[in-house]
Amino acid sequence: MAELQSFEGKVVVVTGAGRGMGRAIAEKFASLGGRVAALDLNADEAQETVAGCTGGPHLAKACDVSNSADVAAAFREVVDTLGAVDVLVNNAGIGRAPDDGSDEMYALMAKRNEELAAGGPATTHVDHLIHMQDAGWKSVMGVNIDGAFYCAREAVRSMVAAEKGGSIVSISSTSAQSGEGAVHYCTSKAAIIGMTRCLAGELAGRGIRVNAVAPGPTNTPIMAGIPQEWIQSMEADIPLGRMAVPAEIAEAVAWVASDAASFCTGSVLVANGGSYFF
Ligand SMILES: NC(=O)c1ccc[n+]([C@@H]2O[C@H](COP(=O)([O-])OP(=O)(O)OC[C@H]3O[C@@H](n4cnc5c(N)ncnc54)[C@H](O)[C@@H]3O)[C@@H](O)[C@H]2O)c1
């Protein structure tokens, strides 16, 4: 089975590869022989990722996945430098953005917690939706969904032009099923699954497999923005009793992208410690 998981000489584009899960995914593909293109908003962090990858050649590139012209330019550079794309991992994602109502929601949550701590009835509603501005909604959808679409389109253009198959893996989330989290985030992560299923059908005849991985809570910098009491209550609800580490998610991504998963397309691979079942 090990050789089926080889990416020797394959060109693997990982978005949001500057840190967290994306960095672990980039390192994993590099360790399996892939030539990794690490795309990220933060060019220095993408460069650090590539510096930590074995093998090569690899490429670090600044790219805002929510901007289609930026994505097209980045993929042109990937193809010119490393060759046609074999694998795309749509990992770049954000959970909050300016003007998305999070500040108001956290303030309301603190007020409600104070009411509970004082032993009184909790009368404060922890509203989020009504405080979310258009700009905040669009920022999260722009990265999580527009970005996945722009990158999938460029990756498939490259695969089709090179007349070869390939594999696309997009990172969804347990939130797609549980509904836990903010409305922009849950909606975007559920949309990833719809996109995955649609493209799996459309691209199967071209030998391109399309799958999603739905991680549960994973210990990455994105968690820094979440109150500690939420993290503790999330961990208490996970049957395996803890968050994932990024390398565990990278294993799932590499497997489903590889020839070892040659009959998997349109699937959602859950890696969530047993908390939800798709
Ligand atoms: N950490 C978790 O618990 C968890 C759980 C389920 C799903 N996810 C998903 O996994 C993915 C990775 O999450 P993470 O925890 O590693 O996040 P993270 O915040 O640690 O890292 C995200 C990376 O994406 C980059 N990025 C953000 N916006 C970008 C843009 N517009 N263009 C290009 N790059 C951009 C950031 O610079 C950063 O390097 C995300 O899609 C996230 O929604 C995370």
pLDDT digits (tens, 9 = 90+) for 176-205: 999 999 999 999 999 999 999 999 999 999
Pocket (CB within 6 angstroms of ligand 1): 15-16, 18-22, 40-42, 45, 63-66, 91-94, 143, 147, 171, 173, 215, 217-218, 220-223
For residues 148 and 92, give the distance between their C-alpha atoms in angstroms, rounded to a whole number: 8
Q: What is the pLDDT of residues 226-254, one digit of tens each?
A: 778 788 888 999 999 999 999 999 999 99
Q: What is the pLDDT of residues 73-109, one digit of tens each?
A: 999 999 999 999 999 999 999 999 999 999 999 999 9
Q: Please state the atom number of ligand 1 nearest to the C-alpha of residue 221.
A: 20
For residues 122 and 25, give the distance between their C-alpha atoms in angstroms, rounded to a whole number: 43
pLDDT given for residue 1 in this prediction: 53
Tokens of 107: 């303030």
Of all protein residues, the one whose alpha carbon is nearest to atom 7 of ligand 1 is: 173
Q: Is the pLDDT of residue 2 over 60?
A: no
For residues 242 and 177, give the distance between their C-alpha atoms in angstroms, rounded to a whole number: 19
Q: Please state the atom number of ligand 1 nearest to the C-alpha of residue 243.
A: 3
Strand order in the sheet with 35-40: 59-62, 35-40, 11-15, 87-90, 166-171, 208-215, 268-271
Whether 276 is catalytic: no
Q: What is the pLDDT of residues 109-123, one digit of tens each?
A: 999 999 999 998 999
Q: Is the pLDDT of residue 61 over 80?
A: yes
pLDDT given for residue 147 in this prediction: 98
Q: Does residue 54 sit in helix, strand or coil?
A: coil
CA–centroid distance, residue 163 to ligand 1 (Å): 31
Mutate to test the pocket of ligand 1, among 23, 27, 40 (most ligand atoms within 8 A of CB): 40
Domains of the chain: 2-95+145-271 (3.40.50.720)
Query: Regarding predicted confidence, which is higher, 2 or 166?
Result: 166
